[in-house]
Every structure is written in C-alpha cells, then in structure tokens.
Amino acid sequence: MVRPAIQLYTIRDLEEPLTETLHRVADTGYEGVEFAGFGDESPEAIADALDDADLKPVGAHVGLDMLQTDYEKTVESYRILGCERIVIPSYGEDGFTSKSAVSEAANRLLTLADSLVDDGFEVHYHNHTYEFAELAGNFDTAYDAFAAQTDDRLGLEFDVGLARHGDIDPVLYLERYSDRISLIHLTDTIPGDDDSLHVDLGEGVIDLNACVRTAVNADAEWLIYENGLTTNPMETLTSSTARIQKLLDTA
C-alpha cells in the first residue's frame, strides 16, 4: 500500500526546531518524512521525536560530498534514526552530457552503493531535469542510459514534476522503471519557467491522478511530497496532505 510522506526541505523555513516540525507534520496526517539534514538538532533528539510523533523515517537526501568527506559519521547518524534509505539527491548535469559521462556517474554511484548496502542501507538516486536530455545511440534519454548501466543496488527515486520539467512523460517513466521505484516524489511544475520548477499540487501541469494510479499499480511504497520553492510552508503543508489523501482515496 502506498503511504504519504513529505520531504522536509519543503518546510525548512518554519521558525522552530526540527523536533517540533516533526510533531506538526504528524498532526497533518502524513505518515513519514524524508530528511534533508538535521538543522541544529542531534540524531538522538530527532529519533526520539520520530518515535513520539509515530512518524516513519522514509529516507534521507544526503549529498555526495558529505558521504565522501564524512562517511562514517553520516551513516551512523541515520542509523540512529532507524533510517534505512539513503537518497543521492543529485549528481550534477556534467554526469549526463554523454555516454562516457553517464558511465562514469553510474560506476561511481554503484561503488558508493556497495559500501552503503554493506552498512545496511538501501540506496536511491533522485532525478532533476537534466537527466532527460537526449542522448545519441540506443537510448531515449541520458536517464535511460543511466538506468541501463546501473542495477538493483541503486533504486530510482522518481520526481514526476522535475521529469515533466525535463520534457518527458512521468507516467511513461514510472511504468518503464516500476521494478526499481519504491519512492516517488510527487511534485507539480510549470515547464519552461525555472521559477516554477516546483509549485503546490494542482497549480502546475502534472496529471496527478495518473501518477498516483501508476504508483499504486506499481506497488510503490511511499509518495513523497515536495515543493522546495514554497513561500508559505504552513499552507503548503496542510493543503498538500489533504490533496494527497484525496488522490490516494480515488486511485
């Protein structure tokens, strides 16, 4: 059964400790959270807040630089939370400009995935827009080449809004890679407008009903809402949970 979660980057501007934000999220009806750092709080304090709020730590966006420079401390922090999924939030556009660049990115991430899997984590890669550039050869896009050169060691956290902003059909890709997608970023967007890379659900062009139906049919585990550009995090928090629950109820 697909469950709703929120990427905490969406509400990073709330002027309160992250532990208080977690309780606020739980009050809305979200069942899980995806981390993008801890703010000024300790992993132990956040773990206690998760337990108190009865929220699941769905995953954590952790940059490559942090994993490279402070690997042991980083993985131990998420182990304390009981967070079993590490998501690489981006690789960088240079990794998707050619076949050789894609191969290098794929090999680098698989090597990292091997280490994280050995330490008890699942590893996922989160797309932006640039992965969907056309690539000469047998692949539709650089994303397809990347998927072909990686394997089940690296899950695909698929962001539907960013994919659409990259000029592809997110439903097509959700279906194409359903066997590797357990985490879906449910985002909305207005293509061609970088200031509207993310908008609140229903304000963009995404066929949200079709994306959620596809997620349900694919047995994805979590729908993770994000609007990293919101100027009203409280309104976005409350409106998104109601919208996602309605989408799930009718899927």
pLDDT the model gives residue 139: 79
**Lowest model confidence (mean pLDDT) among 100-109, 112-121, 134-143, 147-156:** 134-143
Confidence of residue 83 (pLDDT cuts 50, 70, 90): very high
- Do residues 210 and 171 touch, judged by C-beta distance below 8 A? yes
Cβ count near 46 (within 10 Å): 23
Question: What's the total number of domains in the chain?
Answer: 1
Model pLDDT for residues 152-161, shown as the tens digit of each residue = 999 999 999 9
Whole-angstrom Cα distance, residue 27 to residue 21? 10
Residue-level pLDDT at 137: 75
Residues 6+ apart with CB under 8 A from 86: 59, 60, 62, 67, 75, 78, 116, 121, 122, 123, 124
Write out the DSSP string of 8-41.
Answer: GGGGTTSSS-HHHHHHHHHHHT--EEEES--TT-
**Comparing C-alpha atoms, which of 178, 166, 167, 172 is closest to residue 215?**
178
Average pLDDT over residues 73-102: 96
Residue with tokens 């330490």: 119
Q: 183-193, pLDDT tens digit by residue? A: 999 999 999 99
**Domain of 202?**
3-250
In this prediction the pTM is: 0.96
pLDDT at 136: 74
User: So what's the pLDDT on residue 2?
Assistant: 96
Q: What CATH number has the domain bearing residue 85?
A: 3.20.20.150
